[in-house]
Chain A
Amino acid sequence: AQSVTQPDIHITVSEGASLELRCNYSYGATPYLFWYVQSPGQGLQLLLKYFSGDTLVQGIKGFEAEFKRSQSSFNLRKPSVHWSDAAEYFCAVQGTYKYIFGTGTRLKVLA
């Protein structure tokens, strides 16, 4: 069955520190993978996507993610977190057409 696991429900980092959010997926074929960010009461904004090719993908707002097929992972990283990055982050895998989302990781940024 297709699924996405985000092991960390909450993560707290200090402003300026590096960040890594974990995502593991289960999918039979080559996955299309996505990271979205959601601010409170808002919709989802696409940060980056992986379809094929280079396994390190760059996104908006200084985020990047690395696809590792052997580990079934697609972890999101940012070298230096800003206070405005505080939000909820969702990893998703695309099935035939619908997305399967993880339960999200809520990021808190300390000043």
Chain B
Amino acid sequence: DTGVSQDPRHKITKRGQNVTFRCDPISEHNRLYWYRQTLGQGPEFLTYFQNEAQLEKSRLLSDRFSAERPKGSFSTLEIQRTEQGDSAMYLCASSLEVLEQYFGPGTRLTVT
């Protein structure tokens, strides 16, 4: 069990560029979650997958955001036309059914 991994750990991009983050969950976990955490706040839910199906998207996830989980394994989160307000830590978590969620180290995005 290597835990949840995320790549990259840090990303600096210019406003208007597209970015993509990857999350590899714990191998036997069928549920995968994305959260966003801004400075001084707790993580906020973005979206949730059960296997390959995306079952819920938060209203925080504007149409510039898209997430996929092909074949129910790793997941990607893409942000198109980034804005400075997108600067945050993006956290991925996974769980086996409705048991506790295990979090990855996060990807810190800075939009300049």
Contacts and interface: CB of A to CB of B under 8 A. Distances in A.
Is chain B a partner of chain A in the same complex?
Answer: yes
A63 interface: no
Interface residues of B, number: 25
Given A98-B33, A99-B45, A102-B42, A44 B91 contact: yes
B102 A46 contact: yes
Nearest to A9: B40
B57 to A, nearest CB: 11
Given A43-B103, A94-B98, A103 B91 contact: no
Report, as a range, how many residues of chain A touch the other chain: 20 to 34
Interface string B80-112: 000000000001010000101111111010000
A25 interface: no
Nearest to A106: B40
Nearest to B58: A98
Interface in A57-111: 90, 92, 94, 97-104
A34 B42 contact: no
B21 interface: no
B101 A99 contact: yes
Interface string B31-53: 10101000011111100100000
A100 B56 CA distance: 15
Contacts of B4: 43
Contacts of A103: 40-42
Nearest to B104: A43
Contacts of B93: 44
Contacts of A41: 108
Given A42-B105, A43-B103, A101 B42 contact: yes
A45 B43 CA distance: 13
A98 B56 contact: yes
Contacts of B44: 101
Q: Please provide the 10 A-B residue pairs with the shortest distance between their CB atoms, ordered closest to farther.
A: A101-B42, A98-B45, A44-B103, A43-B105, A43-B103, A43-B106, A101-B43, A90-B42, A103-B42, A43-B104
Given A42-B105, A43-B103, A43-B104, 16 more contacts: A36-B103, A42-B106, A43-B4, A43-B105, A43-B106, A44-B43, A45-B103, A46-B102, A90-B42, A97-B31, A97-B98, A99-B33, A99-B45, A99-B101, A100-B45, A104-B40
